Amino acid sequence: MTDRLEEEIPDGLDGERVDRAVAMLADLSRSAVAKLIGSGAVSVNEAVVDSASRRVVSGDTVTVELPEPVDPRLTPDPEIEFGVAYEDDSLVVIDKPAGLVVHPGAGHGEGTLVHGLLHRYPEIAEVGEPHRPGIVHRLDRGTSGLLVVARTAAAHAGLVEQLAAHEPQRIYRALAWGHPDSDAGTIDAPIGRSARQPTRMTVTDQGRRAVTHYVVDERYDHPRQVALLTCRLETGRTHQIRVHLRAIGHPVVGDRDYDGGRPGLDPGRPFLHAGELRFRHPVSGDPVAAVSPLPADLEETLAGCEIGEDTA
């Protein structure tokens, strides 16, 4: 089923390319118009347009067969697998596997955690933002572990408020390259989008405040010098732990986006796991605590690391 747009070319578009004219008249992107032209959906004076570069003149009649608008609601997907660490009528704490994208975005229109959540918890469709129902915070695709999802509007509002106030305790385990100088520390450095690589983040004076606390749990010397860290987020910026550890010269092992993809040790994804999540229940006010052990792939990587004789 389609909608039809029929417009007369105004004087202001006289001599313009047909793809640009249609984009302006129909409020579409040039790429979308190109697809319409390719499918024979654009006509000028009842003649099908076969070239985007064709020029139109004032008074021409342009006809566009527009596809029916896509239903903005997400389709539940029963095939999406994820763990549940805690749930009640107001919320659920998900144990996300590595490789699963949390919500739809550029390049990920289906197969996300949200699609799976809608199958198991259909009520979240009316909670929060339409494209990311129930979601109040997220984990990167390659990061495994815990995140909380709201099942009601009241829970969503309460959790968002807590996150804005930095109340929840979000604790991660990370394997980092090298040995930090101190056994514990705080990285307080603003994070913003990289001007050179817009899909990545970086430490920048123009960024937002970001604070990560870390403790060194173990130092290994073989097969490479690495350190197992416990990291606690005080703030929750995009890629925060990954960017902060890179900034101090100890990027996350396996993190190819942030200089962590190095020879000698490769878990196949960033060695980063959201292992503990503690917060105040947004309805009852009771404390909620969830724990997720290291998944098998990270345990296997860690099992291959050894402490040197001089540090044992």
Are 224 and 264 within 8 A, CB to CB? yes
Please determine, for residue 70, whether its predicted confidence score (pLDDT) is greater than 60: no
Which among 90, 88, 89, 71 is positioned nearest to 131, based on CA atoms?
71
Instruction: Report the chain's mean pLDDT, rounded to a whole number.
Output: 91
Domains and CATH numbers, the chain: 2-67 (3.10.290.10), 70-159 (3.30.2350.10), 166-312 (3.30.2350.10)
Mean pLDDT for the stretch of residues 285-291: 97
Specify the higher pLDDT residue, 225 or 73. 225
Please determine, for residue 4, whether its predicted confidence score (pLDDT) is greater than 90: no
**pLDDT for position 310:** 55
Least confident range from 55-69, 82-96, 160-174, 255-269: namely 55-69
122 confidence band (pLDDT: 50, 70, 90): very high
67 confidence band (pLDDT: 50, 70, 90): low
Mean pLDDT for the stretch of residues 4-17: 87
Secondary structure, 3-state, 34-103: HHHHHCCCEEECCEECCCCCCECCCCCEEEEEEECCCCCCCCCCCCCCCEEEEECCCEEEEEECCCCCCC
Contacts of 75 (CB under 8 A, 6+ apart): 110, 115, 118
Q: How many Å apart are CA 87 and CA 26, to the nearest integer? A: 46
Specify the higher pLDDT residue, 198 or 261. 261
Mean pLDDT for the stretch of residues 180-190: 97
Q: How many Å apart are CA 272 and CA 144, to the nearest integer? A: 7
Please determine, for residue 272, whether its predicted confidence score (pLDDT) is greater than 80: yes
Q: How many Å apart are CA 299 and CA 297, to the nearest integer? A: 5
Please determine, for residue 69, whether its predicted confidence score (pLDDT) is greater than 70: no
Q: How many Å apart are CA 67 and CA 26, to the nearest integer? A: 12
**pLDDT for position 1:** 43
At 172 the three-state DSSP class reads strand
Is residue 140 part of the annotated active site? The answer reads: yes
**pLDDT for position 74:** 84
Among 19, 95, 140, 255, which one carries the catalytic annotation?
Answer: 140
Most confident of 49-53, 161-165, 210-214: 210-214
**pLDDT for position 270:** 98
Are 191 and 207 within 8 A, CB to CB? yes
In sign, the C-alpha dihedral spanning 97, 98, 100, 103 is positive
Tell me phi and psi for residue 198, to 5 degrees. -60, -20
Percent of the chain whose pLDDT exceeds 90? 75
